[in-house]
Structure 1
Amino acid sequence: MRVQGMSRTLVITQAAIIAALYTVLTIFAASLNLASGAIQVRFSEVLTILPFFSFAGVPGVTIGCLVSNIVIGSDIFDIIFGTLATFIGAVGTWYIGILFKKTGKNFLKFLSPLPPIIANTIIVPFVLAYAYHVPDGIPFLMLTVGAGEVISCGILGLIVLTALFPIRDKVFRV
């Protein structure tokens, strides 16, 4: 089986590396109390840009989120719906990457962080409100979670995208 010209072994290997990096970065953020709660900036969310380059980023960040949420002791609803938000965002970013490869339109690179920002901004506040009983209202939680996502996915993610873009063929064997 080949995905985007990649062998199954390569996809699995890259996904495993991405998942491991995501987990380590989330644990680090958790040690600084930044991985959960109304105000969160998960450094690991920077990796949600990787599906732009390769399908391996989709299972990589999804599994990384799942494992991270289990390891840091998240509520079961956070484990399920937080992982779902990451998966939705990863698929959206992957799709934007496909559109970029087909059209070569540079503006798509700058849209690539939007799917994880939007997915997490919509889903995570409900998890915080209903699973963790965070007393702030949903609109406020959307603002705070969205701000954290803009920092990690938008700003830092685009820095990573810009750094990896010139070497993407070597790193991801696109």
Structure 2
Amino acid sequence: MKKTNYLVQAALIGAIYAVLTIAFAPISYGQIQVRISEALTILPMFTPAAIPGLYVGCIVANIYGGGGMIDIVFGSLATLIAAFLSYKMPKKWLVPMPPVIVNGIIIGFILNYLYDLPLFITMGWVTLGQLIACYGLGYPLMLTLERYKDKIFKA
């Protein structure tokens, strides 16, 4: 039963991530982006199933995004790394930080490579978008889910 629960949680998180990213496509891709789905990067605090869920959801979203294999592979790996680091954060207020830093750097490099955008400006824009998504949306989501975690994330 635990394995099934883990798989269902991971699948649901991945599906929600992909749907949110694609539904908000105009602001989910490019140099200036606020991926609404990145608010979900707080979920590793509640369940380790969020780590593969976010990773697979990001793969699906990046297939749709048009950045090609570079973005599919390395953009999704950035999400995997950030999700794992969020899971390991010792303090609640730090949980949204790994996606901000990891994506700011890695996605900045990817966009610089793919579209010849200025590296540090692009990193800054991606980081700003991540701050909005992860702290502006994700942190309040985390505080809300904390009240219901026993009902939502029961094993």
TM-score normalised by structure 2 residue count: 0.95
Aligned residues of 1:117 and 1:146 also touching (Cα < 8 A): yes
Query: Does residue 69 of the first structure (1) align with residue 62 of the second (2)?
Result: yes
Residue of 122, 131, 134 corresponding to 2:114? 131
Write the letter of the residue equivalent to 1:124.
I
Question: C-alpha deviations, 1:105-150, integer Å up to 9, x for none?
Answer: xxx111100011111011001100112333xx21111110000000
Query: What are the residue-to-residue correspondences of 1:1-174 with 2, within 5 Å?
Result: 7-30=2-25, 33-96=26-89, 99=90, 108-134=91-117, 137-173=118-154
Distance between the aligned counterparts of 2:5 and 2:58, measured in 1?
A: 20
Any gaps of 5 or more consecutive residues in structure 1? 1-5, 100-107
Structure with the higher fraction of residues in helix conformation: 2
Amino acid corresponding to residue 101 of structure 2 in structure 1:
I
The one-character-per-residue Cα deviations of 1:10-37 (angstroms, maximum 9, x if unpaired) are 110000000110011001111xx11111
Residue 48 of structure 2 contacts residue 87 of structure 2 at CA under 8 Å; is this kept in 1?
A: yes
State the identity as a percent. 44
Gapped regions of structure 2 (runs ≥ 5)? none
Deviation of the 1:43 alpha carbon: 0.7
Q: Distance in 2 between matches of 1:152 and 1:123?
A: 17
Shift of 1:74: 2.6
TM-score (norm 1): 0.85
Q: Which amino acid aligns with 2:123?
A: M
Deviating beyond 2 angstroms after TM superposition, the runs of 4 or more aligned structure 1 residues are 71-74
Contact 1:75/1:132 (8 A) holds in 2: no
The answer as to whether partners of 2:58 and 2:79 remain within 8 angstroms in 1 is yes
RMSD value, Cα? 1.2
